[in-house]
């Protein structure tokens, strides 16, 4: 437990009201541990402002006494970037959940940072639109957090990550200044792209309070398939991953409406079926499965069937209506909870040029077979269309990073990125200097210093505290 400066405590209570200034450890505890249970720290308190003006007042008050702050949305982050570490105040944005009517003319939706992805998706759907971004944590993940982490998910293949979906933001700086870039202009070259700079900044530059999202029209037809694949043994690398890469490349060429190409491997399939009680998948002995989704204005069934006429495709289950489609998605989407049921996971979210993914996966299996304790689990799955593999390790203690380091070292050796879509947070900050050049890190530190000279916003995330 960390205690708050009594004057600051009174000031914060006056700003947000007693009910939304939580200082008792029993009340603050849920805000102090991340979703995986791996990252936990202590806080001086949790404040839950109602609007942008209150956020600005909270940051101004904290700035006056040098109180560090951790912005937090739905607390679904996976790199420990949204939980306090050592006495920071948690600034919960969840009450900023305003949601405007979609603007069909401009094709945008305005929403408060604390709006969940699912709520924004429902609002868009009611007006005949989609957001073009989706992920399994949709019921809890908030839009502000998704901006802060440049969240990806299952439709990046077609519509890009949060960066591509964002038409504007409103944000508050560490010293309480509010900047609004919410006009949604397609062309607007007046100065630096501050909106773009805040995307993926992990709460270290400013606090996002409102977002403007681009909409895409709801497609007439959407079909989902769970496809079992034979191992691509003639290719280099892990045979299941090589098959998934090969088939995804073919699907991409032949299916312009391809929205998702998600990879499941045998260890994950076996676990998710057992954990979630799912029936045996098509081609139960497959080397890998793809969950693919195609959306179009006309029926893509025949086009998809033709594209699946591939020598590596063993069998497929296809669904074109809501219930059956989500039953197929369950095999992929329930991976995260199934893995957590084994223990506290180490989540290494890495990305590669597609041609290198299978070689990395093969090297990973070899190196972990040598280095990991026998009782540990390695479950890999991910967004194969984006070259993004989620490497999950269960077994090592939460603070034991030896195998994390092995995975990240191997990632860099194979020309990959140590963070595809989850961010750096506190989990990978020790690796920043290996993943970016010295000049690159220096530029980022200059940006940080310009926005937050006293280092009060999310200290210990992205950079070491000392830098």
Residues interacting with ligand MLT, by CB under 6 A?
136, 336, 347, 390
User: Least distance in Å: CB of 165 to ligand MLT?
Assistant: 16
The Cβ of residue 239 has, within 10 Å, a number of other Cβ atoms equal to 21
User: ∠ CA 75-77-82 to the nearest 5 degrees?
Assistant: 60
CA atoms of 467 and 416, how far apart (whole Å): 25
Nearer to ligand MLT, 181 or 390 (CB): 390
Residue 376 structure tokens: 């540990």
Nearer to ligand MLT, 325 or 347 (CB): 347
Residue 335 structure tokens: 């991976």
CA atoms of 83 and 461, how far apart (whole Å): 10
Nearer to ligand MLT, 247 or 339 (CB): 339
User: Least distance in Å: CB of 347 to ligand MLT?
Assistant: 6
In b/e form, how buried is each residue of 268-291, taking b as 16+ CB within 10 angstroms?
bbebbbebeebeebbbeebbbbbb
Tell me if 203 sits within 8 A of 461, measured CB to CB: yes
Nearer to ligand MLT, 41 or 77 (CB): 77
Helices (H), 44-185: 52-65, 117-126, 143-148, 156-159, 162-165
Nearer to ligand MLT, 158 or 347 (CB): 347
Tell me if 4 sits within 8 A of 23, measured CB to CB: yes
The Cβ of residue 436 has, within 10 Å, a number of other Cβ atoms equal to 14
Report DSSP letters for 357-415, one per residue: HHHHHHHHHHHHHHHS-TT-EEEEEEEGGGTEEEEEEESS-TT--HHHHHHHHHHHHTT
Nearer to ligand MLT, 136 or 223 (CB): 136
User: Least distance in Å: CB of 245 to ligand MLT?
Assistant: 17
Residue 100 structure tokens: 């405007």
User: Least distance in Å: CB of 132 to ligand MLT?
Assistant: 16
Nearer to ligand MLT, 165 or 347 (CB): 347
User: Least distance in Å: CB of 136 to ligand MLT?
Assistant: 5
User: ∠ CA 458-406-413 to the nearest 5 degrees?
Assistant: 95
Write out the H or E segment, with its range, that includes residue 91.
strand 86-92
User: Least distance in Å: CB of 262 to ligand MLT?
Assistant: 8
Nearer to ligand MLT, 174 or 389 (CB): 389
Nearer to ligand MLT, 136 or 247 (CB): 136
Torsion of CA 221, 226, 232, 235, to 10 degrees: 50
**Strands 166-173 vs 206-214: parallel, antiparallel or unpaired:** antiparallel
User: Least distance in Å: CB of 356 to ligand MLT?
Assistant: 20
Nearer to ligand MLT, 329 or 463 (CB): 329
Nearer to ligand MLT, 152 or 168 (CB): 152
User: Least distance in Å: CB of 404 to ligand MLT?
Assistant: 14
Helices and strands (H, E) in the chain, number of each type: 17, 17
User: Least distance in Å: CB of 117 to ligand MLT?
Assistant: 12
User: Least distance in Å: CB of 337 to ligand MLT?
Assistant: 9
User: Least distance in Å: CB of 324 to ligand MLT?
Assistant: 21
Residue 269 structure tokens: 């399939």
Nearer to ligand MLT, 90 or 136 (CB): 136
User: Least distance in Å: CB of 441 to ligand MLT?
Assistant: 25
Q: DSSP 3-state assignment of 89?
A: strand
CA atoms of 349 and 62, how far apart (whole Å): 33
Residue nearest to ligand MLT (CB): 336
Distances (CA, A) of 393 to 137, 289, 340, 397: 20, 20, 10, 10
């Amino acid at each position: 437990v960390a205690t708050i400066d009594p004057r600051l405590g009174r000031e914060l209570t006056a700003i947000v009201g007693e009910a939304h200034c939580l200082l008792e450890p029993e009340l603050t505890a849920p805000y102090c541990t991340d979703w995986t249970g791996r990252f936990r720290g202590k806080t001086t308190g949790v404040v839950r402002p109602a609007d942008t003006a209150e956020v600005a007042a909270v940051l101004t008050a904290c700035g006056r006494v040098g109180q560090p702050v951790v912005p937090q949305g739905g607390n679904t982050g996976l790199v420990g970037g949204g939980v306090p570490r050592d006495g920071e105040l948690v600034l919960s944005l969840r009450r900023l959940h305003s949601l405007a009517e979609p603007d069909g003319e401009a094709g945008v939706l305005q929403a408060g940072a604390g709006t969940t992805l699912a709520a924004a998706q429902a609002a868009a759907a009611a007006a005949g639109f989609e957001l073009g971004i989706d992920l399994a944590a949709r019921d809890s993940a908030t839009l502000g957090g998704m901006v802060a982490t440049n969240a990806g998910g299952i439709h990046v293949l077609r519509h890009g990550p949060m960066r591509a979906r964002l038409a504007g933001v409103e944000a508050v700086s560490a010293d309480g200044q509010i900047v609004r870039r919410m006009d949604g202009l397609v062309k607007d070259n007046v100065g630096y792209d501050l909106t773009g700079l805040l995307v993926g900044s992990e709460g270290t530059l400013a606090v996002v309070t409102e977002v403007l999202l681009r909409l895409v029209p709801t497609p007439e037809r959407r079909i989902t398939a769970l496809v079992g694949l034979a191992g691509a043994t003639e290719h280099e690398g892990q045979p299941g991953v090589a098959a998934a890469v090969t088939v995804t490349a073919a699907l991409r060429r032949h299916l312009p409406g391809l929205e998702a190409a998600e990879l499941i491997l045998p260890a994950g399939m076996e676990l998710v079926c057992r954990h979630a009680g799912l029936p045996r998948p098509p081609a139960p002995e497959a080397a890998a499965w793809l969950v693919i989704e195609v959306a179009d204005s006309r029926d893509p069934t025949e086009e998809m069937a033709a594209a699946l006429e591939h020598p590596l495709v063993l069998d497929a289950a296809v669904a074109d209506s809501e219930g059956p489609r989500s039953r197929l998605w369950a095999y992929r989407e329930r991976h995260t909870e199934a893995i957590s049921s084994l223990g506290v996971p180490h989540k290494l979210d890495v990305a590669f040029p597609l041609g290198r993914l299978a070689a990395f996966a093969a090297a990973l299996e070899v190196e972990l077979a040598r280095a990991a304790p026998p009782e540990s689990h390695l479950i890999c799955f991910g967004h194969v269309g984006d070259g993004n593999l989620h490497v999950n390790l269960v077994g090592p203690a939460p603070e034991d990073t030896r195998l994390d380091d092995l995975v990240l070292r191997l990632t860099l050796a194979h020309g990959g990125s140590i963070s595809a879509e989850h961010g750096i947070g506190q989990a990978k900050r020790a690796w920043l200097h290996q993943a970016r050049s010295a000049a690159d890190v220096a530029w980022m530190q200059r940006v940080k210093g310009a926005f937050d000279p006293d280092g009060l916003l999310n200290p210990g995330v992205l950079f070491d505290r000392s830098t």
